[in-house]
A and B are shown apart, each in its own frame.
Chain A
Amino acid sequence: MIGQIAKCTALVFVAAIVQVSILNRVSIVGGTPNLLLVTLVSVALVCGSVYGAGVGFFAGLVVDTATLATLGVTSLLLTLVGYWTGRYGETTGRDKQHASLVAMVAATLLYGLAALGLRFVLGEPADGASLARALPSGLVCNLLLAPAVVFGCRRALGRRDALEGTREVSLLG
């Protein structure tokens, strides 16, 4: 368990550093790829909601610290994203091939809207129009990143499945 926590933490830490140091400068048709979000969603899908919420909180702290932003804002958003994605992976999305893509789309959209809403509540500049412009290309970028990141996370963390070992059987008649 400690090894799993260490791996998850290391993955999101690297993703957070890459995000704030490199990817936040990249703009593709107005959108920015969010490697951190994609990694968090992948980790939460593989490891579940508790891990998702925990590493989401940690990743948020790293981002808020590295960017000297208001502590807790990104933590709150990523905690909820990690938890929701983990629950989705444990319930509705379990064993579905497209679960990671569905989770990625939902997480990207909800994260964008929640970030906008939270900034509005906190009285910080929140521009819905620029979000609307950036979101589609950002979503496409995240979807392009998703297969490689999900695959990498599954390889790194080792997919653990409660139904691991069971096989589907054919019934005659």
Chain B
Amino acid sequence: MPRNRTARLAVLGSSLQRSASTPYSSRTGPALRRRIVVGLLVVLSLALITAYFREPDSGGLHDAQGVAASVLRPFQVGADRLARPFRDAYGYVTNLLNAKSDATQLRRENRALRLEASQAQTIFRDNRELRKALHFVSSAEYLQGYGRVPTRVISQPDDYDQQLVIDAGVNAGVRRGDAVVTPDGLVGIVSLAHSREARVQLLTDESGAVSAADQRTGARGIVQHNGGASGSFVLNQVQKSDRVRGGDRVVTAGWRLGRLTPLYPKGIPIGVVSSVNEVDTDIFKRVQVDPYVNFSKLEAVIVLIRRQQARR
């Protein structure tokens, strides 16, 4: 049986003319040029990384990045506006699907909260009178002594970074070290501030930690991300004698050390205790905390700025 073989013209060395195409440079150019180009780009990237790491936040590269980020901001805002109707539609559908179970849970919570609120009102009144009687001087607490800068999230980094960029910067009074919250609770801290945008280190960043306290017992500890993709936190350094239990609310402790002011104001909600474990070999309890904030769905946040800072 005759075989049909195929071969390219190039292999046959045909004298047929190829069509007048413009082959691109990387294929026809010398390999040396290709290697030089990629080598230069790699060296440039490494140089950028090194320079960025070595310079302070006020350095030239950081400033240039801030200016470039301002230029990119309208594009990001535009993309966000384009996507918003789709995101809203998706949110509407998912909310509708979960509406029944949410309503049941919220009714249960509402009953419990109504009871707590009536108790809290009495306690609050007593507390105010007792403070007045004792001439008690208190430090700045959550939303007392702090201004609020509501702003939107303009970009979220990839899976690896636990940081996001917000649409407010030094011009709005935002400074490095300001606490960032949502109505649900603590989000993180401003780690870098440019004139019109700022970077926020989320609480889910493993390198971050916050001094916290159990609201019911007053037990203190340090909240850190649990690691991995679990989304939960651990309240470390809690004494075994402290009677922390599931369902307790964890808030920022807002400690003050000499002239050092706390990074986070006192009393910002962080989460709710989901489990408490004790190991004989460990001197502390291991308390798991489920955060109030859904860090994967942050669209708008509030930056808490100190009053003097806001006036400046």
Contacts and interface: CB of A to CB of B under 8 A. Distances in A.
A92 interface: no
B310 to A, nearest CB: 23
A69 B157 contact: yes
Contacts of A155: none
A73 B49 CA distance: 6
A79 B42 contact: yes
Contact of A22 (B8, B22, B72, B83): B83
A82 B24 CA distance: 16
A146 interface: no
A131 B158 CA distance: 11
A62 B72 contact: yes
B53 A17 contact: no
A162 interface: yes
A22 B7 CA distance: 48
Interface string B227-254: 1110000000000000000000000000
A153 to B, nearest CB: 14
B41 A79 contact: yes
B297 A25 contact: yes
Given A50-B37, A68-B165, A166-B8, A4 B83 contact: no
B104 interface: no
A116 B37 contact: no
A32 B199 contact: no
B52 A70 contact: yes
B8 A57 contact: no
Contacts of A171: 4-7
Given A25-B296, A133-B229, A60 B157 contact: no
Given A4-B24, A17-B72, A168-B8, A72 B158 contact: no
A134 B69 contact: no
Contacts of B165: 66-68
A7 B67 CA distance: 25
B201 to A, nearest CB: 11
Interface size class of B (residues with CB under 8 A): 35 or more
B155 A66 contact: yes
A20 B199 CA distance: 14
Interface residues of A, number: 69
Nearest to A95: B8
Interface string B145-160: 0000000001111111
Of B49, B154, B227, chain A has the most CB atoms within 10 Å of the CB of: B49
A47 B47 CA distance: 27
B2 to A, nearest CB: 6
Interface string A136-168: 001000000000000000000000111111111
A41 interface: no
A172 interface: yes
B111 interface: no
A48 B27 contact: yes
B58 interface: no
Nearest to B165: A68
Given A21-B79, A21-B83, A125-B205, A161 B26 contact: no
B89 interface: no
27 contacts: A22-B80, A27-B296, A34-B158, A48-B26, A54-B37, A56-B41, A57-B44, A60-B45, A66-B72, A66-B165, A67-B165, A68-B69, A69-B157, A69-B161, A71-B65, A72-B45, A76-B45, A76-B49, A80-B38, A83-B38, A122-B53, A124-B160, A127-B160, A133-B229, A134-B159, A162-B21, A163-B8
The 4 A-B pairs at the shortest CB distance, nearest first, are namely: A72-B48, A165-B19, A48-B26, A76-B45
